[in-house]
Structure 1
Amino acid sequence: MTTRQPTAFESIPAIDIAPLFGSDTAAQQTTAQELGRAARDVGFFYVVNHGISETTQQALFDQTKRFFDLPLRRKMDYYIGKSNNHRGYVPAGEEAPDPTKADAKEAFDLSYELPGNHPEVVAGTPMMGANVWPDLDGFADDVYAYYQAVFGVGQALMRGFETALGLDPDALLSQATQPPSQLRLIHYPFDPNVTDAQGIGAHTDYECFTLLRPTAPGLEVMNGAGEWVDVPYREDALVVNIGDMLEIWTNGAFVATSHRVRKVKEERYSFPLFFAADYHTKVAPLPALLAEHEKPKYGPLAAGDHLWAQTIQTFNYLKKRLANGEIQLPEGARGAGTLGQHARHKDDA
């Protein structure tokens, strides 16, 4: 497969994915090809007609606002540093994808729910297990309903990527059955005095791809020329971007595209679902995607270990546990920010 770098695009495309949920195979093929072009040329795109109801989205918004409106001492009852599987409340300053700048946001993190007797939980696999739920009426039901809905959209997109790449059905999706796919509820507080402050620093996402539902503008994406391009807010769309794992699986045909959030003069919420591979999946360039005599550009990557290593290097409470010898980086862990378009431009600088 010929590797193509993202172009010097000035905007991102919108793709109607309704056919992915229907039975018209010709329409599904057309949609899949649109997804493939966007993943190769841009790495970022909108999806519309994704099927998540306005009721489900509004319930998520309402419950999120209820939680973040609580006093800090109440929110800290659910502090992520109290968990043993990286779930819960993330106060401002707790994480820093760019270690030189503190992120001006707070968050609440949850993931794929597994019972305590599940083998992965019993084995102590990092990031696996039950969620931490605030004691707010309906919060768990409403938030997890959105999780299940957006996870379903992710499964449909993965099937579309399989088709676009000419892979057999389930070649990728069979590797994402019970993954540590995190949903983040993110709050950017209103601050009228800040004109150009960072919300989330420049980074690529560690997983296969991300499905984002924002509530306001502020997102920027890096194009193939290393320029930052604004991603206008669309109420009717999810924003999708390619992550590290799909970059590796496709041997660089799909590139994990760097993005960042700028501070805007309005309160903003953001809801990214990071669609991951199963923890023990070995991610490496797929032989079916390599041209004759083409060599893999990436060594194999352990999906869960990669995600865990990047998380350890990003969150302050985990950095402290690492320094204290309470946890260790997985063997062969990559440094933070070593994949994707942003890393390539740093290497060229």
Structure 2
Amino acid sequence: MTSRQPTDFQSIPAIDIGPLFAADETARRAVAEELATAARDVGFFYVVNHGISEARQNALFEQTQRFFDLPYDDKMRYYIGKSDNHRGYVPAGEEAPDPTKADAKEAFDLSFELPADHPEVVAGTPMLGANVWPDLDGFADDVYAYYQDVFDVGRALMRGFEHALGLEYDALLGHVTEPPSQLRLIHYPFDPNATDAQGIGAHTDYECFTLLRPTAPGLEVMNGAGEWVDVPYRDDALVVNIGDMLEIWTNGAFVATSHRVRKVAEERYSFPLFFAADYHTEVAPLPELIAEGDTPRYEPLAAGDHLWAQTIQTFNYLKKRLAAGEIALPDGARGAGSLGQHARHKDEAG
């Protein structure tokens, strides 16, 4: 299979994924083909009929608003820099995908729950373990229930990608059992002076793909010509984009597409689930996806180490720990933003 670049698209497709959860094999395969076409040609798409109830989503919204409405000092009780596995509150300015600009947002980060006696937690594997939960009634239950629902949608999508790529059962999903798949609760405060202001800088996502539930417009994606294309808000859909790991697994057939948040004058919430592979997974171009006579376009990548390295290079508290010698970048760490369309266009311009 030869690699393809995204087209010069001007909009992103919407795909009804209901058949992925049903018994009709023909319908499932048809949806899988739609997913793969979108992943190759665009790298972004909406999914509708995803099965996450409106009640579940509303509970998530309400709990998130309750937390971000707390006084700053109360939120800082759960500051991510106090954690040992990168979970908790992220104040404005803490994260900088583009180091020349501070992101105008705050966030709360959580991930797949593992108990303290789990072997990976005992071993000190980065980014694994228990979540940090605010002392708010119902917060943990409502937020983690949404996490489990959207994680299940991610599993269905990964199965669909396996089918469309002609891979054996569990060729991809078999590497997703206890992953550092992070859910972020993101808040962009109202700012009447935020005309054309940056909310999150241009970047690709580090994991396999992302499932995003926003509450307002603001997202833009980069097409194959390097142009920024608006992603209109839909309250009935999740927005899915391909990330670094799936780009590598597919040898570039799917491309991690750069995106950013712009023009966020209105208050906005955003809920991305970054669907990752298990920490110790080696992600390399799959032999089945390399055309005869071709060579792999990517070197193997250690899934967890890549995620950890990119995180270290993005968060200020981790940059300080790195400079102080308290932590180290994993061997073979790639530079921040080294994959995806944004990196390709920067390389061409340079």
TM over 0.5: yes
Q: For 1:137-156, what aligned pairs fall within 5 Å after superposition? A: 137-156=137-156
Q: CA deviation at 1:3?
A: 1.1
Instruction: Confirm whether residue 203 of structure 1 aligns to residue 210 of structure 2.
Output: no
Which range is displaced more, 259-268 or 54-63? 259-268
| Equivalent position of 1:173 in the other structure | 173
Counterpart in 2 of 1:65?
65
Give, in whole Å, the separation in 2 of the partners of 1:290 and 1:264.
Answer: 42
1: distance between equivalents of 2:261 and 2:292? Answer: 40
**Distance in structure 1 (CA, Å) of the matches to 2:44 and 2:336:** 21
Residues 170-202 of structure 1 show CA distances to partners (whole Å, capped at 9, x for unaligned) of 110000111000000000000112211100000
Which residue of 1 is the match for residue 99 of structure 2?
99
Aligned to 1:115: 115
Residue 127 of structure 2: aligned partner: 127
**What SS class does the counterpart of residue 108 from structure 2 fall into?**
strand
Residue of structure 2 equivalent to 1:348: 348
Secondary structure at 1:104 match in 2: coil
How far apart are residue 164 of structure 1 and its match? 0.8
Aligned position for 2:239: 239
Measured in 2, the distance between the counterparts of 1:339 and 1:94 equals: 23
Residue aligning to 1:324: 324
The alpha-carbon deviation at position 265 of structure 1 amounts to: 2.2
Deviation at 1:311, TM superposition (A): 0.1
Secondary structure at the counterpart of residue 107 of structure 2: strand
TM-score (normalised: structure 1): 1.00
Query: Which residue of structure 2 lines up, in the alignment, with residue 19 of structure 1?
Result: 19
Percent of residue pairs identical: 84
Q: Distance in 2 between matches of 1:283 and 1:57?
A: 32
Whichever residue aligns with residue 129 of structure 2, its letter is: G
**Which position in structure 1 is the counterpart of 2:282?**
282
Deviation at 1:293, TM superposition (A): 1.1
The CA deviation at 1:145 is 0.2
Q: Distance in 1 between matches of 2:63 and 2:129?
A: 22
Measure, in 2, the Cα distance between the counterparts of 1:129 and 1:265.
Answer: 36
Do residues 87 (structure 1) and 87 (structure 2) align? yes
SS in 1 for 2:56: helix
Report the secondary structure of 2:241's partner residue: strand
Report the counterpart of residue 78 of structure 1 in structure 2: 78
What residue number does 1:295 align with? 295
Deviation at 1:139, TM superposition (A): 0.1
Measured in 2, the distance between the counterparts of 1:111 and 1:226 equals 32
CA–CA distance in structure 2, aligned partners of residues 223 and 194 of structure 1: 25
Between the aligned partners of 1:344 and 1:24, the Cα distance in structure 2 is 40
Report Cα offsets for 1:123-146 as digits up to 9, x if no partner. Answer: 000000000000000000000000
Distance 1:297 1:30 in 2: 28
| 2:215 is the alignment partner of 1:222 | no
Distance 1:309 1:135 in 2: 31
Q: Which runs of 4+ in 1 moved over 2 A?
A: none
TM-superposed CA distance for 1:253, in Å, is: 0.3
Query: Equivalents in 2 of 1:335, 1:5: separation in Å?
Result: 22
1:64 deviation in Å?
A: 0.1
Per-residue CA deviations over 1:47-89 (Å, capped at 9, x if unaligned) read 0000000000000000000000000000000000000000000
The code of the aligned residue for 1:334 comes to R
2:97 aligns to what SS in structure 1? coil
Cα separation, 2, equivalents of 1:266 and 1:97: 22
Query: Residue 296 of structure 1: SS of its match in structure 2?
Result: coil
Structure-2 residue corresponding to 1:53: 53
Letter in 2 for 1:329: L
Give, in angstroms, the shift of residue 264 of structure 1: 2.2
Residues 247-266 of structure 1 correspond to what in structure 2 (within 5 A)? 247-266=247-266
The SS at the match of 2:318 is: helix
What is the aligned residue count? 349
Aligned-partner Cα distance in 1 for 2:194–2:36: 38
Q: Which amino acid aligns with 1:191?
A: D
**Whole-angstrom distance in 2 between the partners of 1:78 and 1:306:** 25
Matched, 1:304 2:304: yes
Output the CA distance in 1 between the equivalents of 2:244 and 2:291: 21
Q: How many angstroms apart in 2 are the aligned matches of 1:155 and 1:237? A: 17
Long gaps (5+) in structure 1: none
Residues of 1 paired with 2:310 and 2:291: CA distance?
31
For residue 285 of structure 2, what is the amino acid of its counterpart? P
- Structure 1 residue 294: Cα displacement: 1.2
Determine the structure 2 residue equivalent to 1:30.
Answer: 30
Q: After superposition, what is the alpha-carbon deviation per residue over 1:179-233, rounded to whole angstroms, capped at 9, x for unaligned?
A: 0000000000001122111000000000000000000000000000000000000
Write the distance in 1 (CA, Å) between the matches of 2:336 and 2:264. 26
Shift of 1:263: 2.9
User: Match for 2:81: what amino acid?
Assistant: G
Aligned AA (2:68): F
